[in-house]
Structure 1
Amino acid sequence: MSDQHAPRSLIVTFYGAYGRFAPGPVPVAELIRLLGAVGVDAPSVRSSVSRLKRRGLLVPGRTAAGAAGYALSPEARQVLDDGDRRVYATTPPRDEGWVLAVFSVPESERQKRHLLRSRLAGLGFGTAAPGVWIAPARLYEETRHTLQRLGLDAYVDFFRGEHLGFTPTVQAVTRWWDLAAIAEQHEAFLDRHARVLHVWEDREDTPPEEAYRDYLLALDSWRHLPYADPGLPAGLLPRDWPGARSAVVFRALHQRLRDAGAVFAGLADPPG
């Protein structure tokens, strides 16, 4: 199993795709079955669930039948709800201007400065200048929720506007983001999952367990990309940008496999 398909990541991906739509906590035995389908053994499931519980992402509970299980915490649900707008986007991003995050953290709280930088980078912000971070304006709401949840909102001011120069915007974005590194991540997704899509396109049947396995692995690879890639308008990107192709591949796999995978996941109705 690759580092990207680590057990903890796959468990989060499972809850994002299916687990949060379950009528109650997902039983531990069911988690072991469902993660086993993508190559995770029972001890790894149990240890990963424990870590996610300590991080406040999963909360223990009992099913209607009294079995021990785990559900998402309210904070984790908010993270997934925010992420849905990126992960499951169905249209190319539009040019809606920019949001700037300007922060100042006292030297006595330098650890919060590091946390702010890492969180903004993880949300897709680029660096326009020291202490000045930039992203497409549509990322504002999710960023606000994230910083409030972490207690970092008191250190940040947001501004919304347009880039007026002097450097042309198409050149400036190459300073704000490492577009070559982002393109490599898209190419890696295509190398791994485009061939999977081709196989499904040649099939007429969609067995639930196979659909579940291929969908969960594709989603586990894909869900990180809309955070590494801020979703710049096409006019600001290099020609033949692989992000457009990887988005097409993921959307096609999503449409073909998710609902069939829900049957294997034990959901009576596919997620909405």
Structure 2
Amino acid sequence: MTGEESLRPQSLMLTFLGDQVLGRDVCVYSGSVIDVFARVGVGEQATRSTLTRMVNRGLLRRQREGRRMYFGLTERSAAVLRDGEHRIWQTGAVNRHWDGSWTLLGFSLPESWQRQRHDLRSQLTWSGFGPLFSGLWIAPGEVDVSSLVAELGLSAHVKVFRAHADAGMDIGAMIEETWELAELAARYAAFVRRWQPWLTERADAEDALALRLRLQAEWLRVIRQDPRLPVRHLPDDWPAEEAEKTFRAVHERFTPLAREASERLLDLVPVRDGQA
């Protein structure tokens, strides 16, 4: 499945707003969003539905100016976007500075709690954990899962430890047994195949704006599925570094044209308190 087929409109919307609105105290006109999303292949009805759903979920705020409706970020969505921004530009895809520590999380839930077990496993996977054994999960470094566990209401059923492996432990083998490395490597390789050609292909300003939006959304999706395993224990041909170089180079190439298109196409207004 290609990135074009699998990216959800909400993911694109958050990426778009993070790029154009985050930190600026402005709202963007719905018509501008519709125009940009049409260039990414998202129809008007899908874009309007996404805006409405995100307002209902507390991820967007509405602000009316005359007959036009504008949309901006809430505190919740801004926090999500700042986290993504940090992951892209500061944390990165390659973990070269691992301190040798692990976070171990053990849980024991009643047999009938199938939904809670599924939710916990999903959240742990999203947070970079892998199943060392059925009820014992592990992640590299120090991972704070207190809010995750509390939100699921499972604090009494979960135990968390920090640990180091014994000197004779084959960490590389443990990683291969715990995480789907082939699947993760394939996602990085697919990203490189899709985006490297854009280091030389030409794009006009409007296309560059749409392409940079999709580039950022696809890259964030890939790295958020990566537990950031220590690179010294990964295969020598691990493709994350090449993928990250590709992302940064293509992003840099698109940025001047994308900014030009943004200034021309986007109708922005300052945020006014009390609007919803």
| Pairwise TM-score range, normalised by the shorter structure | 0.7 to 0.9
Structure 1 residue 191: deviation in Å?
Answer: 1.1
Q: Distance in 1 between matches of 2:245 and 2:147?
A: 29
Residue range with higher mean Cα deviation, 11-20 or 168-177: 11-20
Q: Distance in 2 between matches of 1:177 and 1:218?
A: 25
Q: Secondary structure of 1:25's partner? A: strand
Contact 1:52 1:58 in 2 (8 A): yes
Structure 1 residue 188: deviation in Å?
Answer: 0.9
Structure 1 residue 263: deviation in Å?
Answer: 4.0
Matched, 1:124 2:128: yes
Q: Distance in 2 between matches of 1:263 and 1:146?
A: 41
For 1:18, give the aligned amino acid.
Q
Contact 1:34 1:265 in 2 (8 A): no
- When residues 154 and 259 of structure 1 are mapped into structure 2, their CA distance, relative to the original with a 3 A threshold, is farther
Q: Secondary structure of 1:221's partner? A: helix
- When residues 213 and 174 of structure 1 are mapped into structure 2, their CA distance, relative to the original with a 3 A threshold, is same
**Partner of residue 43, structure 1:** 45
Contact 1:169 1:236 in 2 (8 A): yes
Matched, 1:87 2:88: yes
**Partner of residue 224, structure 2:** 227
1:90-114 CA distances to partner (integer Å, 9 max, x unpaired)?
Answer: 6632212222222333445432221
Q: Secondary structure of 2:90's partner? A: coil
**Partner of residue 24, structure 1:** 26
**Partner of residue 13, structure 2:** 11
- When residues 155 and 63 of structure 1 are mapped into structure 2, their CA distance, relative to the original with a 3 A threshold, is farther
Count of aligned positions? 260
Q: TM-score normalized by structure 1?
A: 0.82
Q: Distance in 2 between matches of 1:65 and 1:147?
A: 45
1:237-252 matches, cutoff 5 A? 237-252=234-249
Q: Distance in 2 between matches of 1:80 and 1:153?
A: 27
Residue range with higher mean Cα deviation, 89-98 or 112-121: 89-98
- When residues 238 and 133 of structure 1 are mapped into structure 2, their CA distance, relative to the original with a 3 A threshold, is same
- When residues 148 and 12 of structure 1 are mapped into structure 2, their CA distance, relative to the original with a 3 A threshold, is farther
* Superposed CA RMSD: 2.9
Structure 1 residue 155: deviation in Å?
Answer: 4.6
Q: Which has the higher contact order (CA 8 A, sep 6+)?
A: 2
**Partner of residue 185, structure 2:** 183
Contact 2:37 2:210 in 1 (8 A): no
**Partner of residue 203, structure 1:** none
For 2:62, give the aligned amino acid.
G
Larger Rg computed on CA atoms: 2
- When residues 27 and 104 of structure 1 are mapped into structure 2, their CA distance, relative to the original with a 3 A threshold, is farther
Matched, 1:255 2:252: yes
**Partner of residue 139, structure 2:** 135
Structure 1: gaps of 5 or more residues = 201-205
Q: TM-score normalized by structure 2?
A: 0.81
% identical aligned pairs:
30
For 1:13, give the aligned amino acid.
T
- When residues 9 and 103 of structure 1 are mapped into structure 2, their CA distance, relative to the original with a 3 A threshold, is same
**Partner of residue 212, structure 2:** 215
Q: Distance in 1 between matches of 2:71 and 2:149?
A: 26
Residue range with higher mean Cα deviation, 66-75 or 44-53: 66-75
Structure 2: gaps of 5 or more residues = 268-276
Residue range with higher mean Cα deviation, 77-86 or 167-176: 77-86
Q: Distance in 2 between matches of 1:83 and 1:248?
A: 18
Residue range with higher mean Cα deviation, 106-115 or 129-138: 106-115
Q: Distance in 2 between matches of 1:34 and 1:13?
A: 12
